[in-house]
Amino acid sequence: MNCRTLSLITCLALAAQVSHADSLPERPRTVLKQQLVPDSAVTVVVRDVASGASLVELNSTVPRPPASTMKLVPTWAALEMLGPAYAWKTRAWSDAPVVKGVLKGNLYLQGGGDPLLTIERWWRFVTDLRQTGLRVIEGDIVIDQTRFAALNERPEDFDGQSWRTYNVLPDALLINWQSADFVVRPADDDKGVEVAIQPFPAGLVVENRVVLTTGRCAGRNRRILITNTDDAMGNVHVSGRLSASCGPQTFHRAVMQPAEYAYGTFVTLWRQLGGEFSGGMLRVPTPPTARLLLTQESLSLAEIVRVTNKYSSNVMARTLLLTVAAETSGTPATASAGGASIKELLASRGLDFPELVIGNGSGLSREALISGDSMARLLVGAWKSRYAPEFLASLSLGGLDGTLRKRFEKVDDPSRIRMKTGTLKDVSAIAGYVTGKSGRHYVVVVDVNHPGAQNGAGELIQGAVIEWVLAQ
């Protein structure tokens, strides 16, 4: 840095924020140089959990995009504010009595924001509803999404890929993450290509344009493209080429919109279970005079947090943020209200992070910001909290599960590394806990913000830091 080109004040400010790379241990410093990553692009914090003593500090106060390590903020806050036993409720209501199995009115499906309402659990809900004695619905099916405010964004806004499941938006009645498995395989008669979809919501239209080819099952002979063709994502084109020598190829894709998907899967399952229905779909709130037919509780918050962090689910983290808002500020819940509530919680615990921008809570954002110091302080607070067991259980174990299942595989005890990873274009981050050979526990935060960091350089730098901590 050349102070001749900057004001003295600017230079002094930067000098206060940026620690020199020489503060790093030798191996991480060497890897940093080998990867041609400047020290100004990296944050490293290593602190003893018990004493608070700092072992390494590099750019610890510089706010950076944390990618998915941001999920640590809403997951810990949700545990603290709602408790690990908290559960979401999905309900069915009617606006008329059920007489001899017939509902001469509308059926209301009211979403409570369950972040993990898989197709299996949705099937259980529909089955339980049938077992109440309801058989015929003569009115419409009403989708009630009003617990969460409508979002002023689209799935494709982040990177233009609306069909990617990591771009699915939160919804009060989100079924199976709004996704389906597309199985593409050569037909048994070798005269074409079959496309099977599971689950297959009523109303989904799939156009199969895949061409059967010969030759090796590789390259252009195994290139399948699945795209949504309208705003409602109810029409899907499956195109490309597939060799007859290929076996089944499976693709996981988001389809339709949340309301249409919930309605479509309900109708499909309802009819499969012998139920009758000939109406349509409405989207309005459940009236206060409605009759309760069924309530299904979600998995516990502790279980939800574990799935969210281990597998880095963007939509589940976003749902947690909205749930915090719903419970603290009322409905319809917004991300900004959830963020404000979490900041109030942090401040009440002495964790005032002025630079923190929670955004949507998932880290899938270029606006989210947090410093390494703030992340480390939060992790120390989480370690000492009453819900530390549930929080630690949500972090991936080195070489064993979650997003770390293919990293640190040679560590003798996977519990020595409990971390949350984060990756965006030009961002690679990791944050969590490492147990040294001395038995002492350390908070470790490494955030690399540099062109191409996600392509391996970030992980190499993180690995060098963690290996050093393991030896302490």
Return the biggest CA–CA distance within the chain. Answer: 87
- pLDDT on residue 21: 46
pLDDT of residue 190: 77
Q: Which of 181, 179, 172, 71 is nearest to 118 (CA)?
A: 179
Which of these ranges, 2-6, 53-57, 220-224, 243-247, has the smallest mean pLDDT? Answer: 2-6
* pLDDT classification of 162: cutoffs 50, 70, 90: confident
Confidence of residue 231 (pLDDT cuts 50, 70, 90): low
For residues 224-230, give the mean pLDDT.
83
* DSSP state letter for 360: T
pLDDT, tens digit (0-9, with 9 covering 90-100), for 141-160: 999 999 999 999 988 889 88
Edge-to-edge strand list for the sheet holding 249-254: 193-198, 179-186, 249-254
Query: Which residue ranges form the domains of the chain, and what is each CATH number?
Result: 18-84+301-470 (3.40.710.10), 88-298 (3.50.80.20)
**What pLDDT, on the 0 to 100 scale, is given for residue 6?**
32
Judge whether residue 5 has pLDDT over 50.
no
- Identify the pLDDT of residue 174: 98
d(CA 227, CA 162): 8
Please give the average per-residue pLDDT across 130-137, as a whole number: 98
How much is the average pLDDT of 183-199?
Answer: 93
As separate numbers, helices (DSSP H) first and strands (DSSP E) second, the chain gives: 11, 21
Q: pLDDT-derived band of residue 1, with 50, 70 and 90 as boundaries?
A: very low
Tell me the average pLDDT across 128-141: 98
- Residue 447 has a CB neighbour count (10 Å cut-off) of 30
pLDDT(373) > 70: yes
- Average pLDDT of the residues in 378-388: 97
Q: What is the pLDDT of residue 232?
A: 59
For residue range 407-465, what is the model confidence (pLDDT) as tens digits? 999 888 999 999 999 999 999 999 999 999 999 999 999 999 999 999 999 999 999 99
Q: Among 78, 168, 126, 164, which residue's Cα sits nearest to residue 385?
A: 78
Stated as kind and residue range, the H or E segment containing 180 is strand 179-186
345-370: burial string, b at 16+ Cβ within 10 Å, e else: bbeeeeeebeebebbbbbbbbeebbb
Residue 366 has pLDDT above 50, yes or no: yes
Reported as a pLDDT band with limits 50, 70 and 90, residue 20 is very low
The rounded percent of the chain whose pLDDT value lies above 70 is 94
Of 393, 421, 390, nearest to 405 by C-alpha is 421
User: What number is the average pLDDT over the span 465-471?
Assistant: 97
Question: What local confidence, expressed as pLDDT, does residue 227 receive?
Answer: 86
Q: How confident is the model at residue 191 (pLDDT cuts 50, 70, 90)?
A: confident
Across residues 257-284, what is the average pLDDT?
97
pLDDT at 163: 84
Q: What's the chain's average pLDDT?
A: 93
Structure tokens at 152: 């002023």
Per-residue pLDDT averaged across 242-257, rounded?
A: 95
Model confidence at 7, pLDDT cuts 50, 70, 90, reads: very low
15, pLDDT greater than 50: no
Closest CA to 257 of 316, 323, 320, 175: 175
- pLDDT tens-place string over residues 51-109: 999 999 999 999 999 999 999 999 999 999 999 999 999 999 999 999 999 999 999 99
